């Protein structure tokens, strides 16, 4: 059974940062690509920590750009990470080329860009995996399209948003529907949506919020407020009267 943490430092963002720090320590210690012989220990660690931090930011930025793309949303996690890593390698390659010239005095002629890309990709793929793994939804089949209740709900949602629900947010007589491809406002009450959607798909976490069960990355505390962190990075408040049901629902999912 997966444990559920309420501490903010175990959230997806913090755990991915811990992984990036560990990778920076490893690369600084190992000194690959000739950095061990060329740089003293403090400079070597600073060099690799700087590159890992830059690669981490580029991977997260690439994920945010790709997330609304329908084809990307359907990819398995490993394939999605590979795409993020290979695309973010392009800007990272020029960062490395500039760094090589500043730190080592080595310029990179155009004829060596392919070789440099491959070398940078070897590290950037690892950085991308650490950066975005916890922010990607688990590999799972889409909700059954033959379910008449599910179809009844999605008939009101624009097709461009797909069927991968993240959360529903009540706004008076309207409902803000959050999916992996974006958000939209539809004319429906939250109570009506909860009755329509299959209970195995998600649960109500607050009088104004419903969340998809498989999109939950974890729980954390923010002062006196408990928050559900979704794989998209969206934070959903948990109502006190719903907290026990939320815990039970998540434990049932991971058992």
Predicted local confidence at residue 1, as pLDDT: 30
Residue 28: Cβ within 10 Å count: 21
| Mean pLDDT over the full length of the chain | 85
Predicted local confidence at residue 34, as pLDDT: 87
Indicate if 125 and 243 belong to the same structural domain: no
Domain CATH number, residue 243: 2.40.50.1020
Residue 60: Cβ within 10 Å count: 19
Predicted local confidence at residue 74, as pLDDT: 77
- pLDDT at position 255 over 60: no
Q: Which of 73, 102, 135 is the last residue of a domain?
A: 135
In a domain, 141, yes or no: no
Most confident of 112-121, 135-144, 243-252: 112-121
Indicate if 233 and 128 belong to the same structural domain: no
pLDDT digits (tens, 9 = 90+) for 85-121: 999 999 999 999 999 999 988 888 988 999 999 999 9
In a domain, 80, yes or no: yes
Which tokens in the block code for residue 196?
A: 């329509």
- pLDDT at position 222 over 90: no
pLDDT digits (tens, 9 = 90+) for 31-72: 998 899 999 999 999 999 999 999 999 999 999 899 878 788
Q: 48, exposed or middle or buried, with CB in 10 Å at 0-12, 13-18, 19+?
A: buried
CA-based nearest residue to 169, from 220, 200, 204: 204
How distant, in Å, are the alpha carbons of 12, 92, 179, 225, 240 from that of 243? 20, 43, 23, 11, 5
- pLDDT at position 143 over 70: no
Q: Give percent of the chain with pLDDT exceeding 70.
A: 87
Predicted local confidence at residue 142, as pLDDT: 47
pLDDT digits (tens, 9 = 90+) for 173-184: 899 999 988 999
Predicted local confidence at residue 83, as pLDDT: 95
Predicted local confidence at residue 4, as pLDDT: 38
Predicted local confidence at residue 54, as pLDDT: 96
Number of domains in the chain: 2
pLDDT digits (tens, 9 = 90+) for 230-239: 888 889 999 9
pLDDT band at 245 (very low <50, low <70, confident <90, very high): confident
Is the whole model's pTM more than 0.75, yes or no? Answer: no
- pLDDT at position 9 over 80: no
Predicted local confidence at residue 184, as pLDDT: 93
- Structural domain for 82, as ranges: 8-135
CA dist., res. 157 & res. 177, Å (int): 8
Indicate if 169 and 55 belong to the same structural domain: no
Indicate if 198 and 113 belong to the same structural domain: no
In a domain, 243, yes or no: yes
pLDDT band at 140 (very low <50, low <70, confident <90, very high): low
Q: 205, exposed or middle or buried, with CB in 10 Å at 0-12, 13-18, 19+?
A: buried
In a domain, 129, yes or no: yes
């Amino acid at each position: 059974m997966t444990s559920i943490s309420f501490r903010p430092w175990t959230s997806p963002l913090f755990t991915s940062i811990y992984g990036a720090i560990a990778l920076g320590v490893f690369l600084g210690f190992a000194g690959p690509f000739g950095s061990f012989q060329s740089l003293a220990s403090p400079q070597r660690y600073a060099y690799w920590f700087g590159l890992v931090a830059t690669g981490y930011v580029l991977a997260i930025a690439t994920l945010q750009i790709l997330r609304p793309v329908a084809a990307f949303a359907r990819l398995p996690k490993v394939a999605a990470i590979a795409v993020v890593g290979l695309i973010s390698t392009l800007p990272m390659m020029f960062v490395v080329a500039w760094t090589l010239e500043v730190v080592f005095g080595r310029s990179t002629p155009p004829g060596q860009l392919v070789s440099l890309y491959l070398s940078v990709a070897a590290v950037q793929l690892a950085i991308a995996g650490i950066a975005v793994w916890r922010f990607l939804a688990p590999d799972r089949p889409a909700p059954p399209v033959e379910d008449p209740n599910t179809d009844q709900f999605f008939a009101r949602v624009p097709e461009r948003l797909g069927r991968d629900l993240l959360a529903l947010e009540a706004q008076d007589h309207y409902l803000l529907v959050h999916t992996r491809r974006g958000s939209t406002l539809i004319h429906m009450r939250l109570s009506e949506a909860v009755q329509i959607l299959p209970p195995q798909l998600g649960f109500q976490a607050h009088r104004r919020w419903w969340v998809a069960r498989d999109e939950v990355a974890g729980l954390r505390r923010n002062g006196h407020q408990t928050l559900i962190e979704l794989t998209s990075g969206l934070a959903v408040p948990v109502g006190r009267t719903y907290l026990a049901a939320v815990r039970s629902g998540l434990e049932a999912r991971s058992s």
